[in-house]
Amino acid sequence: MAKIRPSQGASYARIMGVGGYRPTRVVPNEVILETIDSSDEWIRSRSGIATRHWASDEETVAMMSIEASGKAIADAGITPEQIGGVIVSTVSHFKQTPAVATEIADRIGAGKPAAFDISAGCAGFGYGLTLAKGMVVEGSARYVLVIGVERLSDLTDLEDRATAFLFGDGAGAVVVGPSQEPEIGPTVWGSEGDKSNTITQTVPWDDYRNGTVERFPALTQEGQAVFRWAVFEMAKIAQQALDAAGITSADLDVFIPHQANMRIIDSMVKTLKLPEHVTVARDVETTGNTSAASIPLAMERLLATGQAKSGDTALVIGFGAGLVYAATVVTLP
């Protein structure tokens, strides 16, 4: 029996660079109030959101991803030709095939990397990061580009008082590469499919195609159920990620949760009993909920504004439709 040669990968992996792209149009709550019966005060108190970015026709999923990727690659200090894998997490690329990752890889000049899309909702960045780490350690790619990108304005029902104000557009990207030290911890991830109807699309695409419904599909959710799940169950997952990394909350410098809702973020901070010295990402106030893009966008802003610095230890956790989740501890690039 022939023996298979072992993989020649890196000992560990790390995030080497980060980049983000926010569409140029900034949409305040006043615009949302044109189609729903609410108030700026109500939206802010329920979600913490004051503004969000909506993409123009030119700001496609691919275009936003390319802009974010270029920044991440430059920040990592490598060239596009060195990228051996491109992973894109999105639920708002409206072509079933081919994967938008293949277009992005070609347009950034990455050569012929492995390229594929994943659909894991708001946990998509964590899923992609875990896959990229495995590729680097296994040796199938030395550098992997992970992109979270959404045009959720295309899936927003502007007449739905419960969700019209929540969603925004944007792209965030990181480059994952080899490391001599463990700088991406074990991932605690999973799903609770029995709650899949809690966050979902209103109708399947074929219902719209066949004329069963006239309204274009949109995102919908059971707000209170999502809130309770995120606050209580995801705090447990976050603690498990800390335990898996062998650290405590006192060892953290930064907490970057999915930017779903300010009330959820603040409640998780309280439940986890995070020390006052821990910087908490609250990008949701001006960016809204960008699903898979929210964690890398928040990471990029913290670093760009000096609220976090290279080498800081950060806990990241994403959670959303499925219901799915992924949490890990990373060293910031």
Burial status of residue 23 (CB atoms within 10 A of its CB: 0-12, 13-18, 19 or more) = buried
Tokens standing for 162? 């419960």
Q: What CA–CA distances, in Å, run from 307 to 50, 302, 304, 333?
A: 20, 5, 8, 14
Concatenating the DSSP letter of every residue in 101-129 gives HHHHHHHTT--S-EEEEE--GGGHHHHHH
Confirm if 89 and 118 have CB atoms less than 8 A apart.
Answer: yes
User: In 3-state terms, what secondary structure has residue 157?
Assistant: coil
Confirm if 153 and 167 have CB atoms less than 8 A apart.
Answer: yes
Confirm if 70 and 155 have CB atoms less than 8 A apart.
Answer: no
User: In 3-state terms, what secondary structure has residue 82?
Assistant: helix
C-alpha–C-alpha distance, residues 34 and 143, integer Å: 46
* Active-site residue set: 122, 258, 289
Task: Name the residue among 91, 248, 69 with its Cα closest to residue 154.
Answer: 91
Confirm if 89 and 124 have CB atoms less than 8 A apart.
Answer: yes
